[in-house]
Amino acid sequence: MMIEKLQPYLERVGAGILRYSLVLIFLGYGLFKFTAPEAAAIAPLTENSPFFFWLNPLLGQQGGSNLIGVVEVVTALAIAVRKPLPLVSAFGSLAAAGALFVTLSFLFSTPGLDPTSTDAGFLIKDATLLGAALWTASEAIRAHVTSSAGTSPIRSSNAGRAALE
């Protein structure tokens, strides 16, 4: 059937869009962290976070934001190197998943932030991005396993899945 021939193409294109959208989001927001307006905007979130409460007292508002920016840019670059270095990409995707988990925690740790308000909408999208990060990590690990075995990850995705089980 025609639909069966379309599946591998859709999988490759979808994977690329998912992965490199994640890269662009982390790169863009990471670079934005180096600006004063973004540092001021995230300060109320980090100050009340069980993960980042120490950041601003230790590094200052801009310094804390800069550190987060460095982590986000490095994460984006790691995810982007999927073709030559799938294991590095997998670790980048796992770092993104960790970062997204932390940002989702802001919904519960920030006083006065209503998770159903439009103000929280920018955080809710992170649930979808968390799924993307976990999927890209899984796919990159599969690519690493199959490339280590000397096979193509596209042609032997079932072999890669079996190796991970």
42-95 residue pLDDT tens: 999 999 999 999 999 999 999 999 999 999 999 999 999 999 999 999 999 999
Identify whether 1 is part of a domain: no
**If you average pLDDT over every residue of the chain, what do you get?**
90
Identify the pLDDT of residue 149.
79
- The answer as to whether 22 is a domain residue is yes
- For residue 26, being part of any structural domain is answered with yes
Query: Whole-model pTM?
Result: 0.85
pLDDT at 150: 72
Digit-coded pLDDT (tens) for 7-27:
999 999 999 999 999 999 999
DSSP the chain: -HHHHHHHHHHHHHHHHHHHHHHHHHHHHHHHTTSHHHHHHHHHHHHT-TTTTTHHHHHHHHHHHHHHHHHHHHHHHHHHTTTT-HHHHHHHHHHHHHHHHHHHHHHHHSTT--TTSGGGHHHHHHHHHHHHHHHHHHHHHHHHHHHHTTS-TTTTHHHHHHHH-
Looking at the domain assignment, is residue 3 inside a domain? no
Does residue 2 belong to any structural domain of this protein? no
Domain of 160? 8-164
pLDDT at 163 over 60: no
* Number of domain units in the chain: 1
